[in-house]
Chains A and B, each alone.
Chain A
Amino acid sequence: MPDLLLELFSEEIPARMQRRAAEDLRKLVTDALVERGFLYEGAKAYATPRRLALHVVGLPAKGQDVREERKGPRVGAPEAAVQGFLKSAGLSSLDQARIEKDPKKGEFYVALIERPGKPTPEALAEILPSVIRAFPWPKSMRWGAASREPGSLRWVRPLHSILCTFGPETENTEVVPFEVDGIRSGDVTYGHRFLAPGEIRVRRFEDYVAALERAKVILDADRRKAIILNEAKNLAFARGLDLVEDEGLLEEVAGLVEWPVPLMGTFEEDFLAIPSEVIRATIRANQKCFVLRSPSTLPLEGRVDRPQAGPGGGEAGAGLSPTPDPSPERGGAQAALSHHFILVSNLEASDGGRAIVAGNERVVRARLSDAKFFWETDRKVPLEARLEKLKSIVFHEKLGTQYERVARIAALAKELAPLTGADPALAERAARLAKADLVTEMVGEFPELQGLMGRYYATLQGEPPSVAAAIEEHYKPLGPSDRVPTDPVSVAVALADKIDTLVGFWAIDEKPTGSKDPYALRRAALGVIRLVLENALRLPLCFFFAPQFRSWSQRLAVRSGQIASGTGGTAGTPDETDLLSFFADRLKVYLREKGARHDLIDAVFALGQRSSALAGEVAAKRPEGGSAGGADGVSSGMPPATGPSRQGGGESGQLDDLLMIVRRVDALGRFLDTEDGKNLLAGFRRAANILRIEEKKDGRPYDTAPDIQHLRQAEELALWEALVIEGQAAREAVAREDFEGAMLALSRLRAPVDAFFDKVTVNADDPALRENRLKLLNALRAATREVADFSKIEG
C-alpha cells in the first residue's frame, strides 16, 4: 500500500507553535482523506524550526468507484429543464438516460452516473492546497511580491517549498502535483541552514529521514529533546554536576534547533551571590540555557548573603541582614547552583564551539551583571519607601491602583488576623509590603519573581520572618495543586488579597462567564476555599464580604460622579449573596474533585440555599444597625469567635462557613454508611412519599404540629416523643457544631420510625387520625432537615 510524504519548508517557525502545527497538519489531511473515502493505516507528523512534515502510511492507490443514480425531469418536460439535467449528469443526449415510471409522478428520466475511483494523488492534489491555504496558525502573515494582491497565501513565516511524494514502499514514487501561490510541489528539500544547505531529492519517508539526518537535521522533536537532555546530563556529569531539568525550556529549545549541540559555559562565581531563582530566571528567559547545581554542596538556604559578607567581613556582614535565612522552606530541596550552564547550539562549529561558548558567556555575564545590579540597588530602597510608586500601577481601570489595593488588603488582613491566629500588626505589616516588590527593578525585569523578591528584600531589611514569608506566600495557592500557606500571617494576607480581588470584581460586575475568567477569579475563590479548609479556619464569609461591598458601592458611586444614594448597592449589582453562591459552586466543584458524593453536597447546600437568603438579609441589615459606619469598610469590632452571622439565629450560622459545610457533608456521609443511617433514610423516603402523594391528593400541606390528643397507638406516641427529644437534641448539636452528635440523635429515631411504619396505618379511615399521622410524618421530615435535606440524597 502506498505512502504519502509531505513536507512544508519555510522560514523559522516559532518554537511554541511547532508541535501543535504538526498535529493540526496530521488531523486536517487525514480527516479530509477519510471524508473522501480514503482510509489509511497510520499517520505521524513532525516539526523542526524550518519544516512541517507528514507521513501517511497505507493509503489506497485510488479511491472507490462510485455508482450514482440521478433523477431527472418528467418525460416531456420543457427543453430548458432537459438541458440542465443533461449538463449536470454529464450526458450528451437523452438516449443515455433511462426512463422510469412512478405511479404518482408518471414517467421521468434517470441518469446512471458511474465514476471510477479517483487516483489518490489526484485527491491529494485537491486536498493539500486547501489545507495549506486554510492552515490554523495562531498568527500568520503575508510576504513578498504576491502580497501586493489581496488573498495571497498566509503562512506562519514565508513558505519556500513543498515536497510531496506518493507511492509504494519499494518502487519509485511520484510527485503529487499541485501549486499554492506559485510554489509547485516537488521531491526536493534542503538540509541544515549552515551545515548542509544543498538540495536533497527524496522518494519516500525512510529516505527522507535518513537524508535529513545526513544533512544535519533531526526531524523528530522528541528525538531532539532526548539528545539535548542526554548530552546535557553527560556534560554536567563530567563536571560532577546535576542538570536542573526544565521540561518547558527543553521543549522550547528543541524547537529552536534542527541539529542540537549542547555546550557548557561558565560565569564568574561572584554572581552566585544573587538568589538562585534570579540566576535561573535570567539564564532561562533571556538565553534559553539550562542551569546546573552541585549535588552535595550546601543547601541554598543560608548562603544568600554569605558571599557578600566577604572573607574579611566575617559575621559582621550579618548585621546588615539580621535573618540569615531568607528562604527557610527552600533548603534541602534545592542544592546550590553551579556557575556552569548548558546552552544548546544549532551548529557543529568548525572550532568545536569555542566561539559559541565565548559569545554566550559574554551575554550571560552581561545579563547577570544587570541582575546583580538590580539585586544590589533594589536593596537600597526599603520596601515601604516604594509604596508611593504603587500609585502609578493600575490594578484595574475601575478598581484603582495597587496603592489603593494595598491599603484595603492591609485593613482586611488585620481584621482577618485573629481568625487565622496571626498577630494583627504583623498581618497588616506584611500586607502593606506585599506588593512593594512590583516596583523593584528585579521584578520589573522578571515578573515571575514577584513575591519571592519581596521576601528576599524584606528579610534583608530585617522584617520578622513571618512577614517576609507572607510577602511571598500571599499569592498562594496559585492552583489546585499549589501548596497552601500555613503560617497564620501568610494565611491572613493570602485571604485578604483574594477576598479583595473577588469582592472588587463582583462589585464592578466582572464575573467569570462560561470559559472566560480573565482575572482568574475561580482560582481566587478556590484559593480562599483551600486556605480556609486546609487550615481549618472558621471564616464567616459574609461578615467580611458585606462591608467590602458597601464600601465599593460608595467608592464606585463617588468615582462615577454619582451622588451616593443611601448605602445599599444599586439594584442588579451583584452583592455578597451572589458572591456567596459563587463560592458555593466552587466549593461543590472542590468537594467533588476530592471525591465527596455530589448528592450529599447538594443535601447540605439545599439547607444553605434556603437560608442564605436569610443570611443576606441579616448581613444587609447590619449597616442600618450602625456597627460599620466607616466609609472604607473597616468595622471596629472583631467578630466573636463563634461567628457573627450566627447572631442572625439558628442554622444560618453555617451558611457561609465553609468549614462547617464540609464537616456536615463528612458527618452525613459517615452516618449514611451506618445501618441506622440507611434505615432512617428509608423511613424518611417512605414518609416523604406518602406526604407527597397525600398532600397532592388533598391539595393542602400538612406542615403543622400534630395534635397530641389524637396520638392513639403506642408507636405513634413513641415516635412523637422521639421526634421532639431527638429533634431538639439534633438542633442543639448542630448549634454546637457537633454534627456527629446531631447524626447520633437522628439515628435514635430509627427504631421508633421502623415501629411506626410496622404497626400504624397512616391512611386511617378516621380523617382526623389520618391528618394527625400525616402531620407526624411531616415532623419526621422536619427533624431530618436539622442536618440535611434528605430528599437530595440518592442511592
Chain B
Amino acid sequence: MPVELAPLSPARSFQGLVLTLQRYWAEHGCVILQPYDMEVGAGTFHPATTLRALGPRPWNAAYVQPSRRPKDGRYGENPNRLQHYYQFQVILKPSPPDIQDLYLKSLEAIGIDTRVHDIRFVEDDWESPTLGAWGLGWECWCDGMEVSQFTYFQQVAGFECAPVSGELTYGLERLAMYLQGVESVYDLNFNGREGEDKVTYGDVFLQAEQEYSRHNFEHADTEMLFRQFRDAEAACRKYLDAGEPSGEDRRHRMALPAYDQCIKASHIFNLLDARGVISVTERQSYILRVRELAKACGAAWLRTEGGGLAG
C-alpha cells in the first residue's frame, strides 16, 4: 500500500474504514446510528434491525455494532478469532432494486477496485434460531475471502417481513486486514498514524481479549448467570404484560424495554454456553426460550407506532 495515504484512508486505518462506510451510507440516505448500548452477538440484534425489519414503515439505517461471541475467544492467541469484534450493519427497507450495486459501490468507496478484485456472491442462507428469523442471500467474496453477508430478511421474530429488508453486514476487522495487508488482527493500524503515534488494534483490544477469554471460559459466574437468565426472561414477560394497551389507544407501550431483556437473555445464554454448562438437550430448550421472547417482543412491536400501528 502506498505510504502517502491519508491517516483516515480505509486502507490505512481501522477507524478510517468505519468512517468511510458511515459516510457512504449516510450519503445514500441512511440514518447513521451509534452502537446499541447492550451486549449482543451480532449487529442484527440491534432493535434498529430486528424490530425495524417488522412492519410496513420504510427504514434505512447504518451503524457499527460491537459483537460478542464468548465462545470465539482465543486468549488473544489466534490472529483471526475474537470474542469481541465489530460489524458494520446496514438495513434498507424495503430492499431497493439496486441494492447489489449500492453494496458494490461501497466496496469501491473503501478502495476495492472491482476491475482488479474478484467479487462474488456465493449462496449463504441465513437463519437465527434465537430470533426466529431467516432470510436468503449470499456471502460476498473478495478474492476468495468472505467480506460481507448479504441477506433479504424473509421472517423475523416468527413474522413475515412485509416489506422485505435488505441487510448488509461487513466484517470490519477482516476487511481492514485485507485492505491494510496484515496477517494478524492485532497488527491492524487503528488510527492511521505511524511511529510513536500509531495505535494498533492490539493496543486497544489485546488485553481485553485475554481477560474476557478467561472470563468467558473459566470464571464467568454461572450461578449468577443462570439466575440472570431467569430474571431477564421474567422481566421481559413482565414488561410485555405491563405495556399492553389501555384505554382508547390500541398500541403496545413497552416493546423496546421488553426486547432489551430478550437481548440480555440471549447474551447470557451465549456466556453459559461458552462456560460449557449447558448440555446438548438443554441447549435447544434455552434457544427456544429466547425465541419465544423474541416472538413476543416482535408481536408487541407490530402493535407500536414504529411497527406501523396508527393510534
Taking a contact as CB atoms under 8 Å apart, the answer to whether A359 and B144 are in contact is yes
- Set of chain B residues within 8 Å of A363, measured between Cβ atoms: 143-145
**Distance of A347 Cα from B114 Cα, bound (Å):** 9
Report if A256-B120 is in contact (Cβ < 8 Å); known contacts: A148-B163, A356-B143, A359-B144: yes
Contacts of A343 in B (CB 8 A): 144
Q: Is A144 an interface residue (CB 8 A)?
A: yes
Residue A519, interface by CB 8 Å: no
Partner of B164, one of A11, A143, A257, A362: A143
Q: Is A139 an interface residue (CB 8 A)?
A: yes
A287 to B143, CA, bound (A): 10
Are A16 and B123 interface neighbours, CB within 8 A? yes
A339 at the interface (CB under 8 A from B): no
B119 contacts the other chain (Cβ, under 8 Å)? Answer: yes
Name A156's closest neighbour in chain B (CB-CB).
B136
Out of B94, B117, B119, which one reaches A148, CB within 8 Å? B94
Asked if B144 and A256 sit within 8 Å, CB to CB, the answer is no
Whether a CB of chain B sits under 8 angstroms from the CB of A210 is no
Residue A725, interface by CB 8 Å: no
| A41 CB-CB contact with B under 8 Å | no
Q: Does B239 contact A (CB under 8 A)?
A: no
Q: What is the 8 Å Cβ interface bit string for chain B, positions 108-127, against chain A (1 contact, 0 not)?
A: 00000011111111110100
Within 51-79 of B, Cβ neighbours of A (below 8 Å) are at 56, 79
B174 to chain A minimum Cβ distance, whole angstroms, is 10
Residue of B nearest to A289 (CB): B144
A-binding segment of B27-35, B95-103, B212-220, B243-251: B95-103
Contact partner of A141 (CB less than 8 A), chosen from B115, B122, B136, B162, is: B136
Q: Which of A23-79 contact B (CB under 8 A)?
A: 49
A185 within 8 A of B: no
Are B145 and A150 neighbours in the complex by a CB distance under 8 Å? no
The answer to whether B279 and A392 touch across the interface, beta carbons within 8 angstroms, is yes
Contacts known (A358-B143, A359-B142); A145 close to B163, Cβ less than 8 A: yes
Q: Given the interface contacts A147-B163, A158-B97, A355-B143, does A347 sit within 8 Å of B118 by beta carbon?
A: yes
Closest to A357 in B: B143
Chain A: which residue is nearest B140 at the CB level? A12
Instruction: Give Cα distance in the complex from A349 to B143, angstroms.
Output: 11
**Once the chains bind, are A359 and B94 in contact (CB under 8 Å)?**
no
B259 within 8 A of A: no
The size of the chain B interface, using a CB distance under 8 A, is: 39
Q: What is the distance, in angstroms, from A232's C-beta to the closest C-beta of chain B?
A: 16
**Minimum CB–CB distance for B135 against chain A, Å:** 7
Contacting residues, chain B, for A145 (C-beta < 8 A):
94, 163
Is B281 among interface residues, defined by CB-CB distance under 8 A? yes
Asked, given contacts A142-B154, A360-B143, whether A15 binds B123 with beta carbons under 8 Å apart, the answer is yes
Q: Is the CB of B310 closer than 8 A to any CB of chain A?
A: no
B28 CB to closest chain A CB (Å) equals 16
- Do the beta carbons of A141 and B120 come within 8 Å of each other? no
- B138 interfacial by beta-carbon distance below 8 Å: yes
Choice from B56, B96, B135 contacting A144 with Cβ under 8 Å: B96
Q: B152 interface residue, CB < 8 Å from A?
A: yes
**Which residues of A (134-181) have their CB < 8 Å from a CB of B?**
139, 141-150, 156-158, 160
Measured CA separation A156–B137 after assembly (Å): 9
From 158 to 205 in chain B, residues with beta carbon under 8 angstroms from any chain A beta carbon are 161-164, 166, 178, 183
Query: Assuming the A-B contacts A359-B178, A392-B279, are A12 and B161 also in contact, with contact meaning beta carbons closer than 8 angstroms in the complex?
Result: no
Alpha-carbon distance A142/B142, docked complex (angstroms)? 26
Contact A366 B164 (CB under 8 A): no
CA distance A293 to B138 in the complex (A): 32
Residues of B contacting A351 in the complex (Cβ-Cβ under 8 angstroms): 116
Residue A194 CB within 8 A of the other chain: yes
Q: Does A14 contact B (CB under 8 A)?
A: yes
| Residues of the A chain whose Cβ atoms lie less than 8 Å from the Cβ of B142 | 359
In residues 604-648 of chain A, which contact B (Cβ within 8 Å)? none
- Specify which of B80, B100, B120 is in contact with A366 (CB 8 Å cutoff): B80
Give every chain B residue within 8 A of A362 (Cβ-Cβ). 143, 145, 178, 183
A350 interface contact, C-beta 8 A: yes
In the assembled complex, the CB of B144 is this many whole angstroms from the nearest CB of chain A, namely 4
* In the bound complex, CA of A598 to CA of B298 (Å): 61
Alpha-carbon distance between A150 and B163 when the two chains are bound, in angstroms? 9
Interface residues of A in 437-456 (CB under 8 A from B): none
Cβ-based interface call for B224 (8 A): no
Cβ of A459 within 8 Å of any chain B Cβ, yes or no, is no
B145-A359 in contact (CB<8A): yes
> Which residues of B lie under 8 Å from residue A148 when comparing CB positions?
56, 94, 162-163
Q: Collect the chain B residues with CB atoms within 8 Å of residue A356's CB.
A: 116-118, 143-144
Q: Which one of A15, A150, A160, A363 has the greatest number of beta carbons of chain B within 10 Å?
A: A363
| Contact A194–B162 (Cβ < 8 Å) | no
B145 touches A349 (CB 8 A): no
In the complex, are the beta carbons of A147 and B118 less than 8 A apart? no
Cα A355 to Cα B178 in complex, Å, equals 11
Task: Provide the residues of chain A in CB contact with B115, threshold 8 Å.
Answer: 194, 347, 349-350
Closest A residue to B125 by beta carbon equals: A139
Bound CA span A366–B182, Å: 12
Q: Is the CB of A150 within 8 A of B280?
A: no
Given contacts A139-B125, A345-B118, contact A144 B163 (CB under 8 A): yes
Tell me the residues in window 351-374 of chain A with beta carbons closer than 8 Å to chain B beta carbons. 351, 355-356, 358-360, 362-364, 366, 370
Q: How far is the CA of A345 from the CA of B280 in the complex (A)?
A: 41
A393 at the interface (CB under 8 A from B): yes
Residues of chain B contacted by A394 (CB below 8 angstroms): 280-281
A265 to chain B: closest residue by CB: B144
A288 to B145, alpha carbons, bound, how many Å?
A: 11
Query: What is the bound-complex CA distance between A158 and B97, given in angstroms?
Result: 8
On whether the beta carbons of A355 and B117 are closer than 8 Å, the reply is yes
Closest to A195 in B: B115
> Can you name the residue of chain B whose Cβ is closest to the Cβ of A157?
B136
A144 contacts B117, C-beta separation under 8 Å? no
Are B144 and A360 in contact, CB atoms less than 8 angstroms apart? yes
A490 interface residue, CB < 8 Å from B?
Answer: no
B120 CB contacts on chain A under 8 angstroms:
12, 256-257, 346
Chain A nearest Cβ from B287, distance in angstroms: 15
A141 to B162, CA, bound (A): 12
Within 387-402 of A, Cβ neighbours of B (below 8 Å) are at 392-394, 397
Chain B residues with CB under 8 A of A11: 100, 121
A254 → B minimal CB distance (Å): 13
- Contact of A141 with B164 at beta-carbon distance under 8 Å, contacts A194-B115, A392-B279 already known: yes
Given A144-B163, A364-B144, A392-B279: A194 and B121 interface contact (C-beta under 8 Å): no
Q: A393–B279 Cα gap in the complex (Å)?
A: 9
Q: Which residues on the A side are within 8 Å of B152 (C-beta)?
A: 141-143, 157-158
In the complex, A518→B252 CA distance in Å?
A: 45
Cα distance A287–B183 in the bound complex, in angstroms: 18
**When chains A and B are docked, how far (Å) is the Cα of A348 from the Cα of B142?**
14
Which one, A12, A147, A359, A392, contacts B280 given CB within 8 A? A392
A616 to chain B, nearest CB (A): 35
Contacts A141-B154, A256-B122, A394-B281 hold; do A359 and B162 have CB atoms under 8 A apart?
no
Among A15, A139, A156: residue with most chain B CB under 10 A: A139
Q: Is the CB of B96 within 8 A of A139?
A: no
Residues of A within 8 A of B100 (CB): 11
Residues of A participating in the B interface, judged by any CB pair closer than 8 Å: 11-12, 14-16, 49, 139, 141-150, 156-158, 160, 194, 256-257, 287-289, 343, 345-347, 349-351, 355-356, 358-360, 362-364, 366, 370, 392-394, 397
Extra inter-chain contacts (10) besides given A158-B95, A363-B143, CB under 8 Å: A12-B122, A158-B97, A194-B119, A343-B144, A347-B118, A356-B118, A358-B143, A359-B142, A366-B79, A366-B80
Q: Would you give 14 A-B contacts (Cβ < 8 Å), ordered by A?
A: A12-B122, A143-B94, A147-B94, A148-B94, A148-B162, A150-B162, A345-B118, A345-B143, A346-B120, A347-B118, A356-B117, A359-B117, A362-B178, A394-B281
Please provide the 7 A-B residue pairs with the shortest distance between their CB atoms, ordered closest to farther: A359-B143, A14-B123, A12-B121, A360-B144, A345-B118, A148-B163, A147-B164
Chain B interface (Cβ < 8 Å from any Cβ of A)? 56, 79-80, 94-97, 100, 114-123, 125, 135-138, 142-145, 152, 154, 161-164, 166, 178, 183, 279-281
